[in-house]
Amino acid sequence: MATIKQVAELAGVSQATVSRVMSGSSRVNEATRQRVEEAISVLDYQPNAFARSLASNRSSSVGLVISYLAGGMLGRLMTHIEQHLRQHNISLLIAVGHANAEQEREAVAFLRSRRCDALIVQVNGLANSELRALASQTPTVVVNREVSGIEQQCVFSNDVHGGYLATQHLLAQGHQRIVCISGPLSQQDAQRRVEGYQTAMRNAGQAANIRVVEGDFTEAGGRTAVEQLHQQGVAFTAIVAGSDDTALGAISALSERQRRIPEDVSIVGYDDERHSRHIAGGLTTIHAPAEEMGDAVAALARQLIEGTAKQAPACFAPYLVERATTRPPA
């Protein structure tokens, strides 16, 4: 493997000049730059990235702590983060926290040990105080969660509004007995979607019909919630689901009980995953702006590295996508 010393000897310059060429310094004339670049090409020189990061105090990498690698919305988010950073010659390192505080701490420690220039964290277990402490030590972007004290470093979707839109859509069709199958209520996004549901129900004079069953954003959770509602004898004509997967699980369980969608039960999902469009007629859902959020997250990470970040949180508005799983009650 070629060394910087060999490049310098072939080009007839000092090692310091080679370093300046590789860093893009303007302190090198064009003829010298061309000789160095030709020597690098001839020798196929590959600089030691870790050594360069030590010398420049930059690794040209950003670390991402994500709850799960599976999941359509998180996948779309990661894709846009990676694409944006790659366009600016920044590598993305990923560690998984599994929505568990201890594993999230381990993931953060791992990425910091790799000298990442900034961290992007989509976490559920770490307390706000831990995130504030992390942000004081390392340029940090918090995804899909608003943390007091570092609001300007948070990028999130307005989940209260999303939950409200889903419920208001059903209320406008004439439904009154609307139940909500939430995500894990330990998570801020799930809490806020429920808040939107409850607000819409109260505003419509349906406070007595508010019913929340806690799920886990999964298809299995949707099935379990429907079984629980039937075992308890709860009457309902519509469901607001915490995610599209939850909605699909609920639809499966209802179908097994010969309850038709939407003739007997209307249902609204959340996230607007690709697979939600492939059930018959498509799933009515709330579109979560994962792509736009991913771009904003990556841009904010770069701004924090450069010290040019704007002092305002980035809140994105979801919207309703009406398809075939909702209609007025019979």
Q: What is the distance between the alpha carbons of residues 134 and 91, in angstroms, rounded to a whole number?
A: 21
pLDDT-derived band at 271, boundaries 50, 70, 90: very high
Tell me yes or no: is domain 4-47 CATH 1.10.260.40.
yes
What pLDDT was estimated at residue 105?
A: 96
pLDDT-derived band at 311, boundaries 50, 70, 90: low
How much of the chain exceeds pLDDT 70, in percent? 94
Q: Work out the angle at residue 84's Cα, subtended by the Cα atoms of residues 78 and 90, and round it to the nearest 5 degrees.
A: 95
Instruction: Specify the CATH class of 61-157+290-317 in words.
Output: alpha beta
What pLDDT was estimated at residue 54?
A: 45
Higher pLDDT pick, 161 / 46? 161
* Architecture field, domain 159-288: 3-Layer(aba) Sandwich (3.40)
Model confidence pLDDT, tens digit, residues 275-288: 888 887 899 999 99
Model confidence pLDDT, tens digit, residues 82-109: 999 999 989 999 999 999 999 999 999 9
Strand order in the sheet with 212-214: 212-214, 178-182, 238-241, 266-271, 285-287, 319-321
Model confidence pLDDT, tens digit, residues 106-122: 999 999 998 899 999 99
Domain locations along the chain: 4-47, 61-157+290-317, 159-288
Task: Determine the 3-state secondary structure of 264 from DSSP.
Answer: coil
